Structure 1
Amino acid sequence: MVRRLGSTFEETFGYEPGTNEVRAADDEDFRAARDYGRELLGFGDLLTFYESVGEVVLPDVGNGCFVHSARDVLDRLAEEGPVFVPETEDRHGMVIASNGGGILYVADRGGAIHRSRTASLDDAEFDKVANSLPEFLDHLRRCIVGFVETGSTGDL
Structure 2
Amino acid sequence: MDKPTTSAAAAAAQDSNLLPDSPQHGPTLSSASSFEALTRHDPNLSRLATKMFNKTEEYITHELNAPLEDYKLLEEMNKATIAKYKDMRQIAENLNTSTSELSLKFQQLAPMMQQIDEISDTVDKLEAAAYKLDAYSIALENRVKCVLQRKSGGGQVAQ
Q: TM-score range by the shorter chain?
A: under 0.3
Q: With the length of structure 1 as denominator, give the TM-score of the two structures.
A: 0.17
Q: With the length of structure 2 as denominator, give the TM-score of the two structures.
A: 0.17
